[in-house]
Chains A and B, each alone.
Chain A
């Protein structure tokens, strides 16, 4: 397989409703930002790009089938090859990896991956119903389909198994909202306290409104290239482009129905021993086996042995504060059962940001420096690509330029991980990016 580089990216401002534009025009904002950042004229870029991947989750939020081709034609990419990717909340991560495949396989030298979701076209509770249709409509949805309820049951079991607390979860909310204070693309930029999170409206016990991400309208785009493709773009741009390489790719799956999840042994990462988990039945509903599977593959691919020490940052799928904690463990940032402690340790916070919290340890590996889904919003098809764009900017050392605020730039960031996750952990992707 050929090396694949991420050369550019763009994100629309995530917001509750973009009634000012149709989805194609919002995609164009992200796409044009990425092209402009290469310093290449749009018309010229349309000659240089070989094809695209379209990333969007839902057809019924817009009541529009084939939205992908409508974005493709609006961008001026016809008749070049393209296809739509869909895998629930992991749609963006899957699309990123499909773009990677197109380049790695030699099928394309320059590939644009664009993603979007337009969730404002229905009222919030109808939107929750649409999302809950991503659960078995024979056995699960009719019982009271509600994703926040599903994740609540998962974290209740995590609390039961490992002693995780709601205060530990609230730390994630404070961290991510506070990080987003410096991210102009984020939907919610707030300074919160642990009490704010706990006193917020209860949605599904024990998750409050501030433990849960919000629905958004938004788009994101990344441009991937081979060695040949980078040369082609550099010639047009008249400058050398910083090379950020995709060094690891992993994916995993698990059963749609949470009730079907097995209770077996933990697939181990290199620093774990079977004896660490003598009494643990895995994954049950407390952990995401798909995330562990994705991490094992991506770390093997990228040669990572000790993730928390080797990664400079992680952008992970925190649709819920609880799933950030559960994902720490799947990704091996700590052992299973230690996610709650890691969340309050300070290790996953940003250096130089005042959270108003007493944190025992110094940051080692900031998680969701951008603010994550909790604060940025979660326009599903755009989300995984938003993570790729923010990771790219970290590794290019250009956060200050793009955010107009350098606070969230991690110094000397060389290696980052992006993690995309679909409903209750059904599809999960992990990709490693290196400067």
Chain B
């Protein structure tokens, strides 16, 4: 892909502090006034609990990839669910194989603001032998420029971060 040279200055939210604006003598002309646009910063730390899914994250920090299996119908979830979507019964934790196949993928050249600095990155959905559902993950070790349908079905294996962040990105997949 050839890189286009941009012909515009990037818009940012950095602005000037303004303490007063002009005001017309004639009050009838107020409806013609330009809108006043201000910056309202907003930041928050959430206290997010993984709740019943917590063991999955504990598994990643111990280099184990967990899934869940329905105690009644045997459906296996590669992304854990403790309540079976198929029959409504309870699931138990099971260990998943650490090798799988790429079910689908994409290369993200843009992204949410939080991930923009990581672009381009590759998202993949992985299928596992014996599991009925998939796992969303990052694919690493592939050249984004080489993206093609040939990647679908590729054998991949799990790798784990040494320093856990207790996020789903503690595991990622590379070509097997």
Partner of A259, one of B50, B78, B109: B78
* Known contacts A143-B138, A143-B168, A149-B108; A205 and B85 CB within 8 A of each other: no
- The answer, among B1, B107, B113, B134, for a CB contact under 8 Å with A128, is B113
Question: Interface segment, B20-28, B91-99, B116-124, B155-163?
Answer: B116-124
User: B113 contacts which of A125, A152, A257 (Cβ < 8 Å)?
Assistant: A125
Given A123-B13, A149-B123, A260-B81: A129 touches B40 (CB 8 Å cut-off): no
Return chain B residues, CB-CB under 8 Å to A205: 106-107, 109, 144, 147
Which residues from chain B contact A157 at a C-beta distance below 8 Å?
Answer: 103-104, 152
CB-defined contacts of B81 to chain A, threshold 8 Å? 260
On whether the beta carbons of A204 and B106 are closer than 8 Å, the reply is: yes
CB-nearest residue of chain A to B170: A142
- Residues of A within 8 Å of B152, CB to CB, are 156-157, 160
Choose one: B85, B105, B133, B144; the contact of A153 (CB below 8 Å).
B105
Q: Which residue of B35, B86, B121, B136 contacts A139 across the interface (Cβ within 8 Å)?
A: B136
Within A109-144, the residues touching B (CB, 8 Å) are 123, 125-126, 128-129, 132, 137-144
- Do B104 and A203 touch (CB < 8 A)? no
> A259 near B135 (CB under 8 angstroms)?
yes
How long is the Cα–Cα vector from A141 to B115 in the complex, in angstroms? 10
Name the distance in Å between B141's Cβ and chain A's nearest Cβ.
Answer: 16
> Would you call A145 an interface residue if the criterion is a C-beta within 8 Å of the partner chain's C-beta atoms?
yes
* Residue B137 lies at the interface, judged by CB distance under 8 Å to chain A: yes
Interchain CB contact under 8 A, A263 and B168: no
User: Which chain A residue lies CB-closest to B2?
Assistant: A199
Shortest Cβ gap from A251 to chain B (Å): 19
- Distance (whole angstroms) from the CB of B110 to the closest CB of chain A: 5
Contact of B168 among A123, A138, A207, A255 (CB under 8 A): A138
Cα(A19)–Cα(B35), bound, Å: 6
Question: Which of under 10, 10 to 19, 20 to 34, or 35 or more describes the interface residues of B?
Answer: 35 or more
Asked if B164 is at the interface (CB within 8 A of a chain A CB), the reply is: no
CB distance from B99 to the nearest CB of A (A): 17
Q: Tell whether B42 is near chain A: CB-to-CB under 8 Å.
A: yes
Identify B35's interface contact among A20, A201, A206, CB under 8 A. A20
Q: What's the nearest-Cβ distance from chain A to residue B84, in Å? A: 11
- Residues 238-289 of A at the B interface (beta carbon under 8 Å): 255, 257-263, 285
Q: Which residues of A contact B1 (CB under 8 A)?
A: 202
* Contact yes or no, A263 B132, CB < 8 A: yes
B30 at the interface (CB under 8 A from A): no
A22-71: which have CB < 8 Å to B?
Answer: 63
**A149 CA to B1 CA in the complex, in Å?**
18
Number of interface residues of A (CB under 8 A): 45
A181 on interface, CB distance cutoff 8 Å: no
A154 on the interface (CB 8 Å rule)? yes
Residue from B85, B123, B125 in contact with A144 in the complex, judged by beta carbons closer than 8 Å: B123
Residue of B nearest to A159 (CB): B149
A144, B138: Cβ atoms closer than 8 Å: yes
Of A137, A148, A160, the residue contacting B110 (CB under 8 A) is A148
B125, B136, B152, B169 interface centre (most CB from chain A within 10 Å): B136
Instruction: Judge whether B136 and A259 touch: CB under 8 Å.
Output: yes
Complex Cα–Cα for A106 and B42 (A):
44
Instruction: List residues of chain A with CB within 8 A of the CB of B114.
Output: 129, 145
Interface hits, B15-42 → A, CB 8 Å: 35, 37, 40, 42
**Given A138-B168, A143-B136, A157-B104, A19 and B113 contact (CB-CB distance below 8 Å):** no
Contact A143 B169 (CB under 8 A): yes
A139→B112 contact, CB < 8 A:
no
Cβ of B125 and Cβ of A201 under 8 Å apart? no
CA distance A260 to B134 in the complex (A): 6
Chain B residues, Cβ within 8 Å of A153: 104-106, 123-125
Chain B residues, Cβ within 8 Å of A142: 167-169
B136 near A204: Cβ-Cβ < 8 Å: no
A157 to B4, CA, bound (A): 29
- Which chain B residues border A144 with CB–CB below 8 Å? 108, 111-112, 115, 118, 121, 123, 138
A146: Cβ under 8 A from any B Cβ: yes
Contacts of A260 in B (CB 8 A): 77, 79, 81, 85, 133-134
Interface contact A285-B79, CB-CB below 8 Å: no
Nearest CB of chain B from residue A140's CB, rounded to whole Å: 6
Partner of B104 from the list A19, A20, A255, A285 (CB cut-off 8 Å) is A285
B53 interface residue per 8 A CB criterion: yes
Residues of B with C-beta under 8 A to A255: 85
Of A132, A138, A204, which one neighbours B53 at CB under 8 angstroms?
A: A138
Tell me the bound Cα distance from A146 to B118 in angstroms. 12
Report which A residues bind B (CB closer than 8 A).
19-21, 63, 123, 125-126, 128-129, 132, 137-146, 148-149, 152-154, 156-157, 159-160, 201-207, 255, 257-263, 285
Pick 11 A–B contacts, CB within 8 A, sort by A: A143-B137, A143-B169, A144-B108, A145-B112, A146-B110, A148-B110, A149-B106, A156-B105, A204-B108, A257-B79, A260-B85
